[in-house]
Amino acid sequence: MTGARLRFAPSPTGLFHVGSARTALYNWLAARGGGGVFVLRIEDTDAERGREEWVGGILEALDWLGLDWDEGPYFQSQRSERYSEAAALLAGTGRAYWCECTREEIDRRAREAGRPPGYDRCCRDRGLSPGPGRVLRFATPLDGETVVDDRIRGSVKFANRDIEDFVIVRSTGAPLFLLSNVVDDMDQLISDVVRGEDHLSNTPKYQLLWEALGGPSLPRFAHLPMLVNEKRQKLSKRRDKVALESYREQGYLAEAMCNYLALLGWGPEDGEEVLSKAELVEKFSLEKVNHSPAFFDLRKLDHFNGIWLRRLAAEEFEERALPYLERQAWGNRFDRASFRRLAPLVQERVATLEEVPAMVDFLFLDRPALQDRDWAKLSGDPSTRTVLQAAAELYGTVSWDAPMLEAETRRLSERLGRPLRKTQAPIRVAVTGRAVGPPLFESLEVLGRERVLRRLGEALDMLGGPARAEEHAPPAG
């Protein structure tokens, strides 16, 4: 797409949505894939509240994802003169007119006439001049149709008579999105508009405005499929976790996020889905984007995140996990050297960085964070005391390294007539507080003999003291 000019044009009205991230990524990939230009434009005509914060969120999100732009950010709030000029041009050429109808009047007339709600072109031929309380409306053609030629959805036809005479300037003088969006694309020489499908219904209005403003040839359009949850509902702020920030917080990697977002509506021809940004740039094509809704599948995202976590070099994994560890209540007792010894094993087992602390907290707590459910299961099993007591005896003298601990625990298991797994489970809960975690013997090694023995003793106390002698005997038979 040499010479193409693409833009990402978010409105700073809230937390940055994963759908916006996908739109930004597709624009960026299309630009980077063919020597095009990627423009960033902030559509902030309508965003008084929290504007700075939301703009900050957009910039941070793009930075985190590594989507750099070549031009901008342009801010619509700084270009109001251009929109006024465009509005004056449309009013002057009769393509737009002033209207003084209030919302209530419009609704009442529709109700009384038994029409669906919508504006009835009441002021279209009244020749009103601008004045307080008046809005500027675009005069849509009364017949014919507007055809949107979409690279993803093909040709989509809209009957002009169904397009309301839509407002382009508010009674406050502020331009509406529809106007500023078109004026900017024109001024910024945008050749390709790639945006969410929710904007498809705006596109005939866009095209009519473009033509009325005397624009050169229209940009090409690509409307991206919407994102849906597992119930096939459009992702919504209220129902679903949609803020990119929350995924970042939870310890999803930008590499995984870009990889996963790229697959929401597109797939590589060779089926190899694990792709770096450079590989995506090479393989991505807007022509291959699908039009059916894309399922935002958290499990698949976890899967990709796991893959990308395991691709990190050991030190890099450590580095990225650090903030998640240091912010724990025990963060001040966190010790990097101990963590480092288990980190590669943890790296193999987590889906997000947020899962790391629970895997290693037993190293930094005085007493393990006993999980009620795991402990209940353990304490309800009469053989637990036998196992813990035998382990406590064994671990008092065994030489302290993981292979030796494993070999001796295996022998103990055989002696007790139970599978190794069933011997490991109570020891793990007693020592780490949890039924799942990094491999047990490496964990014991790093924790050290003294603390392991103390924890086994404490667990035995909680279970009511050492087992009775007969419980030591292997089961009969």
Q: Which residues are catalytic?
A: 237
H or E element at residue 158: strand 154-159
Report how far Cα 217 is from the mean position of its chain's Cα atoms.
35
- State which residue, 44 or 445, has the beta carbon closest to ligand GLU: 44
CA gap 220, 321 in Å, rounded = 43
- State which residue, 183 or 405, has the beta carbon closest to ligand GLU: 183
Is residue 362 within 8 Å of residue 334, measured between CB atoms? no
Is residue 77 a contact point for ligand GLU (CB under 6 A)?
A: no
Q: Please, which of residues 21-60 interact with ligand GLU by CB under 6 A?
A: 43
Which part of the chain contacts ligand GLU (CB under 6 A), choosing from 8-16, 92-100, 222-230, 263-271? 8-16
The least distance separating ligand GLU from the CB of residue 28, rounded to whole angstroms, comes to 13
Q: Binding residue for ligand GLU (CB under 6 A) from 195, 223, 248, 434?
A: 195
CA gap 240, 230 in Å, rounded = 10
Q: Binding residue for ligand GLU (CB under 6 A) from 1, 4, 5, 10?
A: 10
The least distance separating ligand GLU from the CB of residue 136, rounded to whole angstroms, comes to 20
* 412 Cβ neighbours under 8 A, 6+ residues apart: 390, 391, 394, 423
- State which residue, 44 or 442, has the beta carbon closest to ligand GLU: 44
Q: Please, which of residues 198-217 interact with ligand GLU by CB under 6 A?
A: 199
Q: Binding residue for ligand GLU (CB under 6 A) from 4, 9, 360, 430?
A: 9
The least distance separating ligand GLU from the CB of residue 151, rounded to whole angstroms, comes to 15
Strands (E) in 175-298, as ranges, are 192-196, 220-224, 227-228, 294-295
CA gap 288, 268 in Å, rounded = 9
Token pair for 264 = 């929401």
The least distance separating ligand GLU from the CB of residue 46, rounded to whole angstroms, comes to 9
Of 182, 174, 224, 175, the C-alpha closest to 199 is: 224
CA gap 29, 36 in Å, rounded = 9
Is residue 180 a contact point for ligand GLU (CB under 6 A)?
A: no
Size of the site for ligand GLU (CB under 6 A): 8
Q: Rounded to the nearest 5°, which phi and psi values hold at 405? A: -60, -40
Is residue 316 within 8 Å of residue 105, measured between CB atoms? no
The least distance separating ligand GLU from the CB of residue 175, rounded to whole angstroms, comes to 13
Is residue 86 within 8 Å of residue 213, measured between CB atoms? yes
Q: Binding residue for ligand GLU (CB under 6 A) from 1, 11, 334, 364?
A: 11
Strand partners, 96: 138
CA gap 235, 242 in Å, rounded = 7
Report how far Cα 144 is from the mean position of its chain's Cα atoms.
42
Which part of the chain contacts ligand GLU (CB under 6 A), choosing from 9-17, 100-108, 282-290, 357-365? 9-17
Which part of the chain contacts ligand GLU (CB under 6 A), choosing from 5-13, 93-101, 333-341, 375-383? 5-13
Which part of the chain contacts ligand GLU (CB under 6 A), choosing from 4-12, 95-103, 240-248, 392-400? 4-12
Report the amino acid identity of residue 119: Y
Which part of the chain contacts ligand GLU (CB under 6 A), choosing from 155-163, 191-199, 392-400, 436-444? 191-199
The least distance separating ligand GLU from the CB of residue 42, rounded to whole angstroms, comes to 9
Report the amino acid identity of residue 375: W
Token pair for 103 = 């919302």
Q: How far is CA 105 from CA 52, 99, 101, 120, 260, in A?
A: 36, 12, 6, 10, 48
- State which residue, 10 or 175, has the beta carbon closest to ligand GLU: 10
The least distance separating ligand GLU from the CB of residue 145, rounded to whole angstroms, comes to 22
| Nearest residue to ligand GLU on Cβ basis | 195
Is residue 181 a contact point for ligand GLU (CB under 6 A)?
A: yes
Contact residues for ligand GLU (CB under 6 A)? 9-11, 43, 181, 193, 195, 199
